[in-house]
Amino acid sequence: MSKELTKRADNYSEWYNDLVVKSQLADHSAVRGCMVIKPYGYALWENMRDQLDKMFKETGHVNAYFPLFVPKSLFEAEETNAEGFAKECAVVTHYRLKADPNNKGKLIVDPEAKLDEELVVRPTSEAIIWNTYKGWIQSYRDLPLLINQWANVVRWEMRTRLFLRTAEFLWQEGHTAHATKEEAIEETVKMVNVYADFVEEYMAVPVIKGVKSASERFAGAEDTYCIEALMQDGKALQAGTSHFLGQNFAKAFDVKFSDKNNKLEYVWATSWGVSTRLIGALIMAHSDDQGLVMPPRIAPLQVVIIPIYKGDESKPVIDEKGHAMMSALKTMGIRVKYDDSDNARPGWKFAEYELKGVPIRVALGMRDLENNVVEVARRDTKEKQTISLNGIADYLKNLLNEIQQNIYDRALTFRNENITEADTFDEMVKLLDEKGGFISAHWDGTEETEEKIKEQTKATIRCIPLDNRQEEGVCIFSGKPSKERVLFARAY
RNA sequence: CGGGAUGUAGCGUAGCCCGGUUAUCGCGCCUGGUUUGGGACCAGGAGGUCGCAAGUUCGAAUCUUGCCAUCCCGACCA
């Protein structure tokens, strides 16, 4: 493995790719557009997943699992949704292979085994789920139905990037059914808030909560709420979405319920999801030219202890102290590793754990033990301090909290410094080219204007922020009147 | 899907233009030893369908064609 990571300033996307692979989060696979998530990356995902799952359950949701395959007839039932995803669907047409008569040892698709109806590999599960809900919902007493599933989905993207856009990705998708429009909207907003809380508090990535413009809306939704994050290169990243689906799917799949007055009504729906893409957001929000910077709360490893031996006789003494410290930290619920592996020297380990973004590194050698201290190095600031062994566990626990907060504050400052108001189109173009980030500007609310701005600048409307300040102005492009600013950015 | 580039050991590479013994070097790996406070050193060793498949040729990493994959730039997108 080469030791050098591409520098962010030299080539940001190469830095990102390099980092994902060298830090062992994931790797390209033999399958086009699909990645292998390696143990370190999967441990990170598990921590994220576990916390989100807890938050979903605290808000009343339960988990279930629906099929990977969606019969084409079900898939096409909700037309807007189907059309929106049609261009990126993997489709199963056969169910059997057979030996190739003309090519020994090879297989061909058995033409006899053609499916009567093609199966779409789910790009999202609304269709199969709403078809199922039809059988589950009869009365208002069956509502609300609050279900989440952890799954993989496939979207056949033209161009893929590790974590940010892979042909197959892991995610969760919540699908809820409600008796009233108000309740469904409330659910949609509740879940975008859950996402924002998770991403900010656990991943330490500040987000802007907002609503998508009509053209950026989820196919089949009445309204799409989202959280938008800003990456270090000034590009925005959609980190999660929550959709108010109205009665579109209820009508498409004929899901009705009897209300208290025995009147048949269509059900109101929401769906919401976040994916392994969040890992991309995490990487690009915090990491530096030395490697990953993991927020302690979801870091697979929070503390690594590295013993530094001098001569064989020092090993048992150091190991004893090291193991004691590890036990104390484990008792406090801290994820810790004592790396006494023999195949690398301390300097190599230092660099390696920096690359992997472990928040705290503790070095333990005879020199320290003689003074009853250890050397504590934090990944976020790269500061090293000599700390007394007395009360070290409490010290490290507090330090983890401090690092979590510091990473968030740093990202928040950067984000806030990169939301810039523009009052003319020229100003906006200049800002996009020279500074990047979010451009806060007036927009006339039409799709035509949005499209023209996109064509000329590659920037899209990321969102109309919730609790947006109302302000009279004129559209930056058309000069027509506008009541509020929206956020534009170039995005991933 | 369009334009450009690349593919040689786990990783990074030389050789290819101009076909010809046993495919170069570094890192990593294995064995033994010395080491260990910022990516150690010495000695010995293992590891290759030269992306895949056809073709040209006495002979192909090298020439031709097709395919596959990756990267960069577009279009598409969470």
Domain boundaries, chain A: 23-70+124-286, 303-414, 419-489
Q: Identify the residues numbered 173 to 212 in chain A whose C-beta atom is closer than 7 Å to any atom of strand B.
A: none
Taking the stretch 463-492 of protein chain A, residues with Cβ within 7 Å of any atom in nucleic acid chain B are 491-492
- Structure tokens given for A302: 């929070």
Average pLDDT, integer, range A234-256: 96
CA distance A478 to A150: 44
Q: CB of A2 under 7 A from strand B?
A: yes
**Lookup: nucleotide whose C1' is closest to A238 CA:** B78
Q: Name A residues 88-147 whose Cβ lies under 7 Å from strand B.
A: 88
Pairing of strands A303-308, A336-338: parallel
At the topology level, CATH places domain A419-489 in: Translation Initiation Factor IF3 (3.30.110)
pLDDT digits (tens, 9 = 90+) for A264-274: 999 999 999 99
pLDDT of A30 over the 80 cut? no
What pLDDT score was predicted for residue A3? 54
Residue A157 — very low, low, confident or very high, per pLDDT cuts 50/70/90?
confident
Protein-to-nucleotide distance from the CA of A34 to the C1' of B29, whole angstroms: 28
- For chain A, how long is the longest CA-to-CA vector? 84
Taking CA A155 as the corner, what is the angle to CA A209 and CA A461, rounded to the nearest 5 degrees?
A: 30
The pLDDT score that the predictor gives to residue A186 is 98
A34-42, Cβ contacts within 8 angstroms, sequence gap of 24 or more: A34/A160, A34/A166, A34/A167, A34/A168, A35/A162, A35/A163, A35/A166, A37/A170, A37/A276, A40/A300, A40/A356, A41/A279
Distance A68 CA to B2 C1' (A): 33
For the cut 50, the answer to whether the pLDDT of residue A148 exceeds it is: yes
Nearest CA to the C1' of B76 belongs to which residue? Answer: A158
CB-CB neighbours of A130 under 10 Å:
28
Q: A303-414 maps to which CATH number? A: 3.40.50.800
- Domain covering A23-70+124-286 assigned CATH 3.30.930.10 in the classification: yes
Q: With contact defined as beta carbons under 8 Å apart, do A96 and A110 qualify?
A: yes
Beta pairing partners, A387: A374
A306 touches strand B (CB under 7 A): no
| Nearest residue to A229 via CA among A251, A198, A256, A253 | A198
A251 beta carbon to strand B: under 7 Å: no
Whole-complex ipTM: 0.87
Within 404-443 of chain A, which residues have Cβ less than 7 Å from strand B? Answer: none
Tell if A362 CB is < 7 Å from nucleic strand B. Answer: no
